[in-house]
Amino acid sequence: MRKPLIAGNWKMYKTVSEAAAMLNDFKAKVADVKDAEIVICPVYTSLVEAVKVTKGSNVMIGAQDVYWEKEGAFTGQVSPQMIKDVGCTHTLIGHSERRQYFGETNETVNKKVKAALASGLIPIMCVGETLAEREKGNTFNVVESHTAGGLAGLSAEDARKLVIAYEPVWAIGTGKTATPAQAEEVHKFIRGVLEKLYDKNTAESMRILYGGSVKPENIGDLMSQANIDGGLVGGASLKADSFAQIVKFKI
């Protein structure tokens, strides 16, 4: 059985004090949740306080990105070791906004995934197509390229440690959501890619999250699909009430 994982990506929102206030409220609302893992990814400046506030709770903290070098003259970058030292357990890698605005590629995603794993962080590796790519019928080609490229050179043992998040870019922040059937189709395809890259056991054990306008109203329908193992939540993770409702989804 794959344990559901619900991750919140706060993107570039919340000051340190705002993050602390939300997390104090949120952790109380989800304290009784045992059947799902919970991760929240604030901005770098809030990570220390976020870890402090959630210590001893069932809420884990992750970073939104990571660099592949341990240290050096890389102004503005943060290493996996630094993120791990703060107390984070996870890191997002390859989010569509990183690809769109900051030049992320399959090759840099792969470097980051390997570096994160080597430091003991759990990567949440994002894959997904744009609206133009979907309309041209390239969804499966893009998703396979992102998946295989990000995992290049990883053993099955290492691959099993990470999480994949499918985020159709056309559904992020647009209010549009892939239907459960559309999402399931791609999740099933990704699992097939994993089986081709590794083996059936590895493919069946890896968690694949759906990200793209996940809300309290649609999380149950999404989670009822056989190959959807959780959600990567954007806007709805910024408020304690709505994110708690998503975490407490009922199929």
Does residue 88 contact residue 122 with C-beta atoms inside 8 Å? Answer: no
Q: What is the pTM of this model?
A: 0.96
Residue 181, burial from CB neighbour count under 10 angstroms (0-12, 13-18, 19+) = exposed
Alpha-carbon distance of 207 to 229, in angstroms, equals 6
The yes-or-no verdict on residue 172 having pLDDT over 90 is no
What is the secondary structure of 142-210 as a DSSP string? Answer: HHHHHHHHHHTT--HHHHTTSEEEE--GGGSSSS----HHHHHHHHHHHHHHHHHHS-HHHHHHS-EEE
Show which residues are catalytic: 95, 167
> What are residue 38's DSSP bridge partners?
6, 59
78 pLDDT band (50/70/90 cuts)? very high
- Model confidence band, residue 177 (pLDDT cutoffs 50, 70, 90): confident
* Per-residue model confidence (pLDDT) at position 223: 96
Q: Say yes or no to pLDDT of 5 above 80.
A: yes
The separation between the first and the last C-alpha atoms of the chain, rounded to the nearest angstrom, is: 16
Residue 47 has a pLDDT of: 98
Phi/psi for 40 (5° steps) reads: -125, 135
- pLDDT, residue 196, reads 98
Higher pLDDT: 176 or 153? It is: 153
Q: Residue 251 has what pLDDT?
A: 55
DSSP code for 215: -
Q: List domains and CATH numbers for the chain.
A: 5-11+18-247 (3.20.20.70)
Cβ contact 41:61 at 8 Å: yes
CA dihedral in degrees (177, 179, 183, 188; nearest 10)? 180
Rounded Cα–Cα distance for residues 39 and 58 (Å) = 9
CB 19 within 8 A of CB 46: yes
pLDDT of residue 72: 98
pLDDT digits (tens, 9 = 90+) for 6-22: 999 999 999 999 999 99
**Which pLDDT score is estimated for 178?**
84
| Rounded mean pLDDT, 53-79 | 98
Under the phi-then-psi rule, with left for phi > 0, alpha for psi from -120 to 50, and beta for the rest, what region is 40? Answer: beta
**pLDDT for residue 49:** 98
- E strand or H helix at 106, and its extent? helix 106-119
Mean per-residue pLDDT for 132-153?
A: 96
Tens digits of per-residue pLDDT, 79-125?
999 999 999 999 999 999 999 999 999 999 999 999 999 999 999 99
pLDDT score, position 156:
98
